[in-house]
Amino acid sequence: MPIRRYTDYDGPTSLGGQPTTRKDNEHIDDEDEDDPLRVGMWLEGDSLAPPCGSSISVVHSLIDLAFESVQEDEEDCVLYDLGCGDGRVCLEAYWRYMNDDKSDRRKNSQRRMQCVGVEIEDDLIIRFRELIGKLQPPPTRVDEGGREDGSDQSVTHSSRIHAVKGDLCEVLKSLVDRQKKLRVVDEKMRANNNEGEASPYEYLPLPTIITMYLLPESITLIEPTLLEMMSLNPKLIIICNSWGMRKSVSPAKTVNAIDGETGLTTTLFLYTAESLGIS
Mean pLDDT value of segment 121-146: 79
Q: What is the mean pLDDT of the chain?
A: 78
**Whether the Cβ atoms of residue 114 and residue 79 lie closer than 8 Å to each other:** yes
Q: Please give the backbone phi and psi of residue 261, each rounded to the nearest 5 degrees, phi first.
A: -85, -40
Q: Is the pLDDT score of 272 beyond 90?
A: yes
Rounded to whole angstroms, the Cα distance separating 181 from 274 reads 24
Report the predicted TM-score, pTM, of the whole model to 2 decimal places. Answer: 0.80
| Domain residue limits at 223 | 44-276
Q: In Å, what is the CA distance from 49 to each residue of 120, 240, 266, 276?
A: 10, 12, 16, 25
In a domain, residue 201? The reply is yes
The model's pLDDT over 22-72, given as tens digits with 9 standing for 90+, comes to: 544 344 444 555 554 554 444 444 567 777 788 999 999 999 999 999 876
Count of structural domains within the chain: 1
**Is 219 within a domain?**
yes
User: Would you say residue 214 lies in a domain?
Assistant: yes
Cα-flanking dihedrals φ and ψ of residue 243, to 5°?
-130, 135
Give backbone dihedrals phi and psi of 66, rounded to 5 degrees, phi first. Answer: -65, -50
pLDDT at position 64: 95
- Does some domain include residue 38? no
| CATH number where 83 lies | 3.40.50.150
The answer to whether residue 2 is domain-embedded is no
Cβ atoms within 10 Å of 225's Cβ, excluding its own: 15
Q: Where are the alpha helices (DSSP H) in the chain?
A: 56-69, 88-99, 104-107, 122-134, 168-184, 187-190, 216-232
